[in-house]
Structure 1
Amino acid sequence: MNPNTAAAYLQLTPRQRVVELARPWVLVALYIGTAVAGAWWLAVPLAVAVCLAAFVQMHDAMHNALGLSKKNNERVLTLSALLILKSGQAMQVTHLRHHGRCLTDDDPEGAPATWSFARVLWQGPYHILMLRRESLRIAPKTRNRQLLETAATVFILAVFVGLYYYLDSAIGLVYWAVAFLMSATMPIWASYVPHHVASRNPAARVAAAMAQIWTPVVSSFAFHHVHHHYPRVPTALLHRAAAELPPPPEEHHH
């Protein structure tokens, strides 16, 4: 089946779309509520969940997989990326390049998948900064929007600092720390591991079996090879793509 045909076949229902769009924002509200209550043992894991949910939403928006109009999709891309303190436009540029030239010398996003694990550990934290530079090189026509979104992240960080100094609230700084940790380790969990764990691997099989528990997060790992072949299928429906569509070649994303 043609990948574009598959995307038309597997689309979110209106109810599923509401769930996918609301998830990170509901988690943000829960994070704020638990942090205000001083329940940091719960707030910190919720902050991690916010970052993961925002990453999945941003990723689906990159591929126009949410069934939204172009304008609304761009809004979701920008807002979901801001939740993880990123420029959605910049991330989209390097991600679509990754799909088009997967693991080649001109695939800056996929570079960590070609490194040794030791190199991923020490160089990975700087990789996300390099991607900002590469996104401007690859798509100079989107420079203004990329810079505007980057300025928005700086403003958010300034608000976090202001909350701490003027209201003695660490809510913003703790979230910033979690988002930074997720970014620093992104080359591991979003690049190296998905491209090195084959779908036949026991860990991937367990994740596939568990995909129904929190489909977007687990599916992004379990069905990474399916996503590369059917990029317009929403992350939440990748388990269906794996079950119902012709399987992609195992080497498709290696």
Structure 2
Amino acid sequence: MKLELTPAQRHIELARPWVLLALYVGLALAGWWWLAVPLAAVVCLAAFVMMHDAMHNSLGLKKPTNERVLTLAGLLILKSGHGLQVTHLRHHGRCLTEADPEGAPATWSFSRVLWQGPWHTLMLRRESLRIAPNTRRIQLIETGLTLALLGAFVALYWATGSAVGLVYWGVAFVMSATMPIWASYVPHHVSSRNPAARTAAALAQAWTPITASFAFHHLHHHYPRVPTALLYRAAIEFPPPPEEEHHHH
């Protein structure tokens, strides 16, 4: 059983974050911040989906291309894509056990996720270097590139007074700090029978991978090689996985 992106779908998946980023830059330069700021958050989510599909090699790309996409998608949310891949694949292998640092927030109280979340995101960087020392070089390069981007945003502001880069970084920082909530706690606590998840599942059929990643989280754990954008089809065509497998009670 396989679901794969058509070439046209693959182009859409690969282009989406960059098209949204260009729109953000255009709106920000025009001074339409009320539209640009929420759009920056959407860019981060789109980049997250692309990075996540690259982690699972489900975009149908050759390995060197997939590795580059993983790096670039990670940079869009100011992260090491390879670093996150290490802890994410560990999460799939040992879901919500002691040896699953990424999934830890799913086992916490919500208040703890709120105050400890930002530190948790930083801690995952350290964990990924510890778990996979063989990918240390690329992880450190990606971390260096992230810092270089931040330096470029500051320089842009000093040189031109334009906050386009700094505002984007601010939004990416907030998305990153809250990642344990929207990428770990919520998906593992919301049953697919929940009305919010059912609404997201209905929306996902309109080709919105962002809602698909939330609506079909349990399905993704069972069929990790299905691209996020096609999870709604997997929900219809594949045998349903046991509901309680990846939920914390």
TM-score (norm 1): 0.96
CA RMSD across the alignment: 0.7
Q: In structure 1, what residue type is equivalent to 2:184? A: S
**Range with greater deviation from structure 2 (105-114 or 39-48):** 39-48
Tell me the residue number matched to 1:86.
79
Give the secondary structure class of the aligned counterpart of 1:105: coil
> Could you tell me how far 1:214 is from its partner in structure 2?
4.5
Is there any run of 5+ residues in structure 1 with no aligned partner, and where? 1-5
Q: Cα deviations across residues 203-231 of structure 1 (Å, max 9, x unaligned)?
A: 11111111123521001010000000000
Distance 1:213 1:38 in 2: 31
The whole-number CA distance in structure 2 between the counterparts of 1:144 and 1:73 is 17
From 108, 111, 115, the counterpart of 1:118? 111
Q: Deviations over 1:102-126 (max 9, x none)?
A: 0000000000000000100110111
Task: Give the 3-state SS of the residue equivalent to 2:225 in structure 1.
Answer: coil
Match of 1:247 among 225, 240, 246: 240
Q: Tell whether 2:83 aligns with 1:76.
A: no
2: CA distance between counterparts of 1:205 and 1:47? 26
Is residue 231 of structure 2 the alignment partner of residue 238 of structure 1?
A: yes
Runs of 4+ with deviation above 6 angstroms: none
Say whether residues 1:59 and 2:16 are aligned partners: no
Aligned counterparts of 1:46 and 1:117: Cα–Cα separation in 2: 27
Identical aligned residues as a percent:
76
Query: Paired residue for 2:17, among 24, 38, 50?
Result: 24
Letter matched to residue 217 of structure 1 = I
TM-score, normalised via structure 2 length: 0.98
The aligned runs of 1:177-188 (5 Å cut-off) are 177-188=170-181
Q: What amino acid does structure 1 have at the position aligned with 2:224? A: P
Deviation at 1:188, TM superposition (A): 0.4
Whether 1:148 aligns to 2:121 is no
